[in-house]
Structure 1
Amino acid sequence: MSSLGAPRHPFDGARILDLFAGPGGLDVAAHFLGFKSIGIEWDQSACETRYAAGLPTFHADVSVMRETRFDEIPASVDVLAGGPPCQSFSVAGRGAGRAALDTVKEFMHRLVHEEDETEVDKDLHARGVDPRTALVLEPLRWLLKAIETEGREPYKAIILEQVPTVLPLWDVYAHLLRGGEGRLKGIKYEADCWALKTEQFGVPQTRTRAVLVARLVGSGAVGRPAATHLPFNVHRQASSPGQAQLLPTGVEHEIRWQSMAEALDAASTLKGSSIDISRLRSRGKTKFFVISNYGSNGDPKRRGERQSDEPAFTVTGKVSRNKVYKTKADYEAGKSDRFTIAESGVLQTFPHNFPWSGKDQAQQVGNAVPPRLGMHVLSRALRDKAPTKKELARSATWPAVPATTAEELRAIGCGDQSQCPLAESKTAQSTRKPSP
């Protein structure tokens, strides 16, 4: 396993660059697989969590970093990863990104086939493309920058994730990467993309992510991460109670999805755990139900309900608003509970003792890639195999990070205030809001 400390510069030997890194979902996954990563993150609170966790970080605007500080990225980085902000693409948002899908596809082709990015940027602004939506172009810009910078090599692998509505854009990415035309200068990738359900990878939560994986031609074909668990039937109430669940194609082992109670119970037994769900136990068994903060089936007033022996709803930045009830009597009396930040993190498969820091921690939790899903994606992309049982078991607990390490990372990542994003910055990333 890679060390969180470093004998020299903390960024030395990093292989993975995580754009829009958030509190560190992909970085946590990389750590437990033995890969060292660096994150670029604009939000100061997310950076505070990353520093406390010992994760090397640039507190910076992704666009500005690429344009003016690209040389600060270690030459050892050969994997580009990231999840651009998703709220304009999300079904929970107003849909500006979905409406602009065709426009964004056009600009993806233009970036590859036109030499002058200045004109592309002017047209993006003239066409009224939401600046947050335009951030989905950043991974492509970073690849082109690496190809066109003397002394740099093209990334050996590219891993991107987003909400399912972005899958058509990942298809275009894959097409362009396979073609190697224009500014790609003949550099070609094996590339594919899929919609992956998190509960099929052991995450105690129903959440679907659009994932793209690309590898330089010659590194072997790209393989879809193999599901390890059965899918959860979100329409279960309309199904026959006796209906048999069939094993879907690609599932290697018939393991039922993991429930909220199972995940929280397991986390509560770990050494030094802050997870205490005794308040939700009755007769020695953890039993509760959750009422979602969001409407369902298009009705904002119709709140979904999940039992403790089922996976959680998608953990969003509003997870702290979900109401938890121990009994129906508590529900009728209006006596609700809430998941703590640590418990919400566990439902995202973060370690039980992950050091959430800074402000709006619920939003940080909701924005993150579930580390367990990240482990499956990264391991398949970089090692052609699934993570081992030992690696997955080890990911339940985060190693202690000395305060001096956090201070050192903060001094490097945000020590020069002139390089930190300013509140009045007009760049695309600084206009974004946290994604769901």
Structure 2
Amino acid sequence: MSSPGKQVHPLDGIRILDLFAGPGGLDVAAHFLGFKSIGIEWDRNACETRYAAGLPTIHADVSVMRETRFDEIPKSVDVLAGGPPCQSFSVAGKGAGRRALDTVKEFIHRLVDGEDEAKIDEDLHALGDPRTALVLEPLRWLLKAIETEGRDPYKVIVLEQVPAALPLWEVYAKLLRGGEGRLRGVKYEAECWELKTEQFGVPQTRTRAVLVARRPGEGAVEPLEATHLPFDLHRGKRNAAQADMLPTGSAIPTKQRWLSMADALDAASRPKGSPVDVSRLRRGGGMNFFVVSNYGSGGDPKNRGRRRSSEPAFTVTGKISRNKVYASDTEYEAGRSDRFTIPESGVLQTFPHNFPWSGNDQAQQVGNAVPPRLGMHVLSRALRGDAPTNDELAAATTWHDVPRSTTAELRVIGCGDQSKCPPKSHKVTRSRRTSAP
């Protein structure tokens, strides 16, 4: 604990390095668990949100930081976390990464075996989608730490991606357990799983591939215990008894029902001054709205999926603002639709109701983020070996006030004179001059 009157520097005591940090899903999770983190993020808009939220940040390209600015990472960091961009692996994307899975697996082995990295980079570039190569960055950061004098291997590694990347995490886990080649005998206990967000209290259906690795002595990696029931995606079975949705062998329901959009948004609207206002979605004293997805289903772009307010949301993506929200069937028939606001979209991701979204492209920021509540479960298991407490989860619904001076200080740390920031990221497009009034 700091002595009275002693000024605490924003980078003091940082343990977690969050690669591809986005607006701060994992960092928010770490905060509510009592851990300090720093994120590397190349998108200027996401950085503005992070500065406003008081989250230490370096505005930079992850690869550039590793290659030329590695010494700027605090030596107190002993946890490596990250969710590489998923577009090339995502079902919603063009799938270049999925088609190249076997090739990427080979690259992982080539890196560990010590092949020339210039040749590896050349071959990665030939894959066509540069984002596919970013899934190798966590491994490269680990190797950099092992091979840099004065640095220790990370004690814990936490990675997440879309489900299509699970085979890559399995390769990661196998190599981390073996400790061969450039790993120089550094071994980890490592496991990976597919996790459904609604089973951890997130009011949306979203599946993520997660890897957790810990150095021997930090304890074996145990599977996460779901706190909520899975959501049945098949409409004809949604009225089935909860017991039918329990894992085989379960005698009695021991988990809570998944959290609905209505419950999450209603709770977020109650704190005084909350930017979440759902009065427009209430009819007859309750919320009975429904959402029509921006995406088609069953291969038919015209067959838009629907979710009722009493159900979890669709996966929150950067296009969530395109989903249409109808307060009633009457409004649907009349063509009067609404949209989720940014604070509401953030709540569906389990960000605090008053999280200070800033900059442009805020819907994209929300969609790119790791749901903080899922992050709390993963980080708590990885760092403490247990689940977050009920008090920690309850506290995670409200963000603390951040002084403007803190935001300004973090912007200086993150952007400095802007010379080290990603090229053109601070370029301002000036509007044409208009005639004087």
TM (norm. structure 1) is 0.93
The match for 1:162 is: 161
- CA spacing shift, 1:250–1:33, aligned 2, 3 Å: farther
The match for 1:194 is: 193
What's the offset of the Cα at 1:253? 3.1
Superposition pairs of residues 102-117 of structure 1, within 5 angstroms: 102-117=102-117
What's the offset of the Cα at 1:10? 1.0
Q: Are residues 1:258 and 2:252 paired? A: no
- CA spacing shift, 1:249–1:366, aligned 2, 3 Å: farther
Instruction: Letter of the 1:262 partner, please give it.
Output: D
1:353-383: CA deviations, max 9, x gaps?
0000000100000000000000000000100
Question: How far, CA to CA, are the matches of 1:211 and 1:249 in structure 2?
Answer: 23
Aligned length: 421
Question: How far, CA to CA, are the matches of 1:330 and 1:309 in structure 2?
Answer: 18
The match for 2:176 is: 177
Superposition pairs of residues 4-403 of structure 1, within 5 angstroms: 7-125=7-125, 127-237=126-236, 244-248=243-247, 253-403=254-404
Which 5+ residue runs of structure 2 have no aligned equivalent? 427-437
The match for 1:430 is: none
What's the offset of the Cα at 1:271? 2.8
TM (norm. structure 2) is 0.93
What secondary structure does 2:355 align onto?
coil
Contact 1:22-1:47 at 8 Å conserved across structures: yes
Question: How far, CA to CA, are the matches of 2:133 and 2:357 in structure 1?
Answer: 29
What secondary structure does 2:86 align onto?
coil
After the TM superposition, which of the residue ranges 240-249 and 189-198 deviates more from structure 2?
240-249
Question: How far, CA to CA, are the matches of 1:288 and 1:13 in structure 2?
Answer: 45
Question: How far, CA to CA, are the matches of 2:173 and 2:344 in structure 1?
Answer: 37
What's the offset of the Cα at 1:225? 1.2
Contact 1:227-1:250 at 8 Å conserved across structures: no
- CA spacing shift, 1:238–1:392, aligned 2, 3 Å: closer
Runs of 4+ in 1 over 6 A off after TM superposition: 249-252
What secondary structure does 2:244 align onto?
coil
After the TM superposition, which of the residue ranges 35-44 and 292-301 deviates more from structure 2?
292-301
Which 5+ residue runs of structure 1 have no aligned equivalent? 426-436
Superposition pairs of residues 425-436 of structure 1, within 5 angstroms: none
Contact 1:199-1:258 at 8 Å conserved across structures: yes
What secondary structure does 1:161 align onto?
strand
Contact 2:29-2:373 at 8 Å conserved across structures: yes
What secondary structure does 2:422 align onto?
coil
Question: How far, CA to CA, are the matches of 1:268 and 1:338 in structure 2?
Answer: 16
Contact 2:43-2:425 at 8 Å conserved across structures: no
What secondary structure does 1:111 align onto?
helix
What's the offset of the Cα at 1:236? 2.6
Instruction: Letter of the 1:173 partner, please give it.
Output: Y
Contact 1:39-1:56 at 8 Å conserved across structures: yes
Instruction: Letter of the 2:51 partner, please give it.
Output: Y
Question: How far, CA to CA, are the matches of 1:93 and 1:376 in structure 2?
Answer: 28
Question: How far, CA to CA, are the matches of 2:381 and 2:243 in structure 1?
Answer: 30
Question: How far, CA to CA, are the matches of 1:51 and 1:129 in structure 2?
Answer: 33
What secondary structure does 1:104 align onto?
helix
What's the offset of the Cα at 1:242? 6.0
Contact 2:191-2:212 at 8 Å conserved across structures: yes
Contact 1:230-1:248 at 8 Å conserved across structures: no
Instruction: Letter of the 1:225 partner, please give it.
Output: L
Question: How far, CA to CA, are the matches of 2:70 and 2:238 in structure 1?
Answer: 54
Question: How far, CA to CA, are the matches of 2:203 and 2:116 in structure 1?
Answer: 46
Question: How far, CA to CA, are the matches of 2:104 and 2:63 in structure 1?
Answer: 17
1:39-68: CA deviations, max 9, x gaps?
000000000000000000000000000000
After the TM superposition, which of the residue ranges 108-117 and 374-383 deviates more from structure 2?
108-117
Contact 2:227-2:255 at 8 Å conserved across structures: yes
Contact 2:326-2:336 at 8 Å conserved across structures: yes
After the TM superposition, which of the residue ranges 416-425 and 25-34 deviates more from structure 2?
416-425
The match for 1:417 is: 418
What secondary structure does 1:339 align onto?
coil
What secondary structure does 1:419 align onto?
coil
Instruction: Letter of the 1:300 partner, please give it.
Output: P
What's the offset of the Cα at 1:243? 8.0
Question: How far, CA to CA, are the matches of 1:319 and 1:79 in structure 2?
Answer: 32
1:371-404: CA deviations, max 9, x gaps?
0000000000100110000000000000000001
- CA spacing shift, 1:249–1:359, aligned 2, 3 Å: farther
The match for 1:432 is: none
Question: How far, CA to CA, are the matches of 1:134 and 1:56 in structure 2?
Answer: 26
Question: How far, CA to CA, are the matches of 2:109 and 2:241 in structure 1?
Answer: 50
What's the offset of the Cα at 1:336? 0.3
